[in-house]
Amino acid sequence: MICLKIYNTLTRKIEEFIPREENKVKLYTCGPTVYHYAHIGNIRNYIGHDIFDKTLRYLGYDVTRAMNITDVGHLTSDSDSGEDKMEVARKREGKTSMEIAKFYTEAFFNDFAKVNCKMPEIVSPATENIEMYIKIITKLLEDGYAYESGGNVYFDISKLENYYVLTNNQEDDLVVGARESVEEDSNKRNQADFALWFTTSKFENHELTWDSPWGVGYPGWHIECSGISIKYLGEYLDVHGGGVDNIFPHHTNEIAQSESYLGHKWCNYWFHNEHLLDETGKMSKSKGEFLTVSLLEEKGYDPLAFRFMCLNSHYRKQLVFSYDALDQASSTLQKLKKKIASLSTDGEVDTEKFDLYKNKFIEEISNDLNTSNALTVMYNLLKDTEVNDITKRSLIEDFDKVFSLDLLKEESIDIDSDLEKEIEGKIKERAEAKKNKDFAKADAIRDELLSKGVKLIDSREGTTYELI
Ligand code: AMP
Ligand code: ZN
């Protein structure tokens, strides 16, 4: 099996990916908080995870992937102060938490499917696993890793030597930045301790509550991912991921409570996607107005143009969204699909060339998921005159198992009539120029089109063109 190399936040290195069990991968993705629509930044994160998931499967791994749906416990601070985001939505919309969760979960998976993200094998809402969190918290209390105070249960980070293992064993900028937004909590022994279970009167209006050995209340956000992951994927995890903002406090706390509960190392690889930004910085739901995949679609964009835009950059690099960039991605994707549609289906696949290009593709995609280089392999393939059309088609079909851009789906090719009209007009203008022996003008028109990726082909029958 080809070895995948992947950046591991835990070691801050690109490493060879070796799952615990040969050929089998257990993958966990932190799911959305369903108090609002997912913005295109969230979706970029899930596209990154989808590429990882599909690359593993492409390379032959048997992957089991789980994802939670956060429908309780995620406070506005991402820590222990502020209000449950579901409560914010409840007040905003005058509905029950479960109605809100249902609505935004459906909206999320709608957009998720529009950008061709594959459903994880297991998807579980936080509210459906309360008994698992109670089991973990009970043991953490018994073993002295947690304490009750002011009605809440907190994890005592002083019990760990390596609490900051994911942030390089230090309170780096990420940690300090995250802490600054959090109010003091006099119930905590150490302000860096974090809540496992809330019951205090501060949250008395909380709609969703459950009985627990520590009183009626609800779970903290971090415990849900530990609980769901351990419940569905077992005591060992190969990869766990989210956006870079999840590194602290969410994933740091997940490691602390999971490993204290299990008594051993829990997850070997931590995978984090960089953010999508807008002109004002990180795209976030709390900013009020934000862009969704469905909104882009309403504006006439193909959601896969957004996926294509994401694939053109590396998942560990910040990406700035702009309509210009999306327009560019849309038109390049259209050209690409047209070009692919024009490939003949006759003849036989040249296995030697097939293997040659498949290996080039694997080399790039397995190098820390270098999607933009993998796309370049495809462009080079399309240009290669030594490779016949049917081999090109089969290879593109194969690459699209990872890209998931519907590259061979004819019905998704929207004839860009404006571009077509422009080209036809230029061809006529050029023919006219040639007739008038104005060859400089004719050549200028040919070069202009070439710079736009349109190659003119002259023959006795006239001039046709090819998109390159
Ligand atoms: P949330 O629904 O807020 O819990 O976020 C869902 C996922 O999206 C989390 O894993 C976040 O890390 C990620 N995320 C949030 N904002 C962005 C962004 N602007 N760009 C990329 N990923 C993001
Ligand atoms: Zn999580």
In this predicted structure, what is the pLDDT of residue 81? 83
Q: What is the pLDDT of residues 309-318, one digit of tens each?
A: 999 999 999 9
Q: What is the pLDDT of residues 341-378, one digit of tens each?
A: 999 999 999 999 999 999 999 999 999 999 999 999 99
In this predicted structure, what is the pLDDT of residue 288? 66
d(CA 289, CA 285): 8
Pick the atom of ligand 1 nearest to 282's CA.
19
Starting from the CA of residue 85, give the closest ligand: 1
In this predicted structure, what is the pLDDT of residue 329? 97
Closest alpha carbon to 327 in 349, 298, 296, 351? 296
CA–centroid distance, residue 3 to ligand 2 (Å): 27
d(CA 140, CA 258): 9
Q: Confidence class of residue 47 from pLDDT cuts 50, 70 and 90?
A: very high
d(CA 137, CA 154): 9
End-to-end CA distance of the chain: 34
CA–centroid distance, residue 432 to ligand 2 (Å): 64
d(CA 366, CA 7): 11
In this predicted structure, what is the pLDDT of residue 95? 94
Pick the atom of ligand 1 nearest to 30's CA.
10
In this predicted structure, what is the pLDDT of residue 179? 67
Q: What residue ranges line ligand 1, CB within 6 angstroms?
A: 30, 32-33, 41-42, 44-45, 70, 242-243, 245-246, 273, 275-276, 282-285
Q: Which tokens sit at 80? A: 């222990």
Pick the atom of ligand 1 nearest to 277's CA.
19
Q: What is the pLDDT of residues 195-235, one digit of tens each?
A: 999 987 556 688 999 999 999 999 999 999 999 999 999 99
d(CA 399, CA 381): 11
CA–centroid distance, residue 191 to ligand 2 (Å): 21
Strands 237-243 and 24-29: parallel
In this predicted structure, what is the pLDDT of residue 305? 98
Residue having the nearest C-alpha atom to atom 3 of ligand 1: 33
> At residue 278, what is the residue type?
D
Starting from the CA of residue 28, give the closest ligand: 2
Starting from the CA of residue 246, give the closest ligand: 1
d(CA 427, CA 464): 8
Closest alpha carbon to 123 in 26, 228, 36? 228
Spatial contact of 62 and 26, defined as CB atoms under 8 Å apart: no
> At residue 127, what is the residue type?
T
Closest alpha carbon to 85 in 207, 256, 197, 193? 207
Residues near ion ligand 2 (Cβ under 5 Å): 30, 225
Q: Which tokens sit at 71? A: 């429908």
CA–centroid distance, residue 72 to ligand 2 (Å): 12
In this predicted structure, what is the pLDDT of residue 334? 95
Spatial contact of 97 and 87, defined as CB atoms under 8 Å apart: yes
In this predicted structure, what is the pLDDT of residue 2? 78
